[in-house]
């Protein structure tokens, strides 16, 4: 290798920053001792302030963005709690919440209030606007996504995640669980094609991987992706944690896994990025 192939640029992001102390520690370890350069913060969770504080003091090079929560987590805005999250907690996962947002147009105002509150809470931690994505990819919902693009512009966030383009690579690695990968891959391929037609979608990198093996973004799978990394900008996202108990053999509901911390701190991964001539953004 003579130098970096700047036609292939890679963004590596950790989700769920602020969710717990174990996740915070996993993210910071992956930054200090590995290849991680970005993390997405859940601003309503108990460990969010700790995550913001430690990122600034221990990993100032870590780019921290907003991990928007509109399902499976806590709301921030008291104005939207009654409509969206009674008691401050969203009552269902992304599938059921997504159906509510799609069929109940009267929730649009509460959704925007909640999203705006999460943007403003993020900035209240003294963090610079970076990128924005969504917990369980709820931000890729066709009702949520146009609001998100508009707010990202308003608050000067520079990048918005749009998952897609991973299906062929996931299936060429291992087919298990084949039906789940195929179903998710096809759904998000259709979503991506639709959402890229929205004004403001130029904030989205060309492709984003991590959806189809969430919780199982192992060293071996990451090396598989790096060998087939196309030209342009690719984001790959992870859910690292320092907790030793979470080592799954199939994708997990929580997504968080120590296997993903090990992938991000792997010397083989660091060497593969160098050898392939990939620019780590």
Chain segment 10-31, per-residue pLDDT in tens:
999 999 999 999 999 999 999 9
Q: What is the mean pLDDT of residues 239-264?
A: 77
Residue 195: in which H helix or E strand, if any?
helix 178-195
| 113: three-class secondary structure by DSSP | helix
Domains of the chain: 5-280 (3.20.20.370)
d(CA 48, CA 42): 6
Confidence label for 1 from pLDDT (cuts 50, 70 and 90): very low
Terminal-to-terminal C-alpha distance of the chain: 19
Q: The pTM is what?
A: 0.92
Cα-based distances in Å from 212 to 121, 168, 173, 246: 30, 11, 11, 18
Lowest mean pLDDT among 62-66, 90-94, 238-242, 247-251: 247-251
Residue 133 sits at φ, ψ, to 5 deg, of -145, -170
């Amino acid at each position: 290798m003579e130098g970096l192939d700047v036609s292939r640029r890679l963004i590596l992001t950790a989700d769920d920053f602020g969710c717990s102390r174990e996740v915070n520690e996993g993210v910071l370890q992956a930054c200090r001792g590995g290849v991680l350069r970005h993390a997405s913060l859940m601003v309503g969770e108990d460990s969010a302030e700790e995550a913001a504080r430690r990122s600034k003091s221990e990993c100032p090079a870590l780019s921290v963005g907003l991990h928007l929560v509109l399902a499976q987590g806590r709301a921030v805005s008291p104005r939207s709690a009654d409509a969206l999250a009674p008691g401050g907690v969203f009552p269902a996962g992304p599938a059921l919440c997504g159906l509510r947002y799609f069929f109940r147009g009267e929730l649009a105002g509460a959704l925007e209030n909640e999203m705006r509150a999460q943007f403003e809470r993020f900035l209240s931690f003294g963090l610079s606007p970076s990128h924005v994505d969504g917990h369980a990819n709820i931000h890729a919902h066709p009702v949520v996504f146009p609001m998100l693009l508009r707010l990202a512009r308003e608050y000067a966030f520079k990048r918005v995640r749009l998952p897609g383009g991973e299906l062929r690579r996931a299936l060429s690695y291992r087919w298990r669980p084949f039906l789940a990968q195929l179903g998710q891959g096809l759904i998000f391929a259709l979503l991506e094609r639709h959402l890229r037609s929205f004004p403001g979608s130029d904030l989205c990198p060309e492709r984003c991987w991590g959806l189809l093996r969430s919780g199982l973004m192992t060293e071996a799978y990451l090396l598989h992706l790096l060998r087939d990394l196309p030209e342009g900008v690719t984001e790959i996202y992870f859910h690292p944690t320092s907790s030793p108990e979470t080592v799954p053999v199939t994708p997990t509901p929580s997504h968080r896994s120590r296997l993903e911390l090990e992938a991000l701190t792997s010397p083989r991964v660091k060497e593969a990025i160098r050898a392939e001539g990939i620019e780590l953004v």
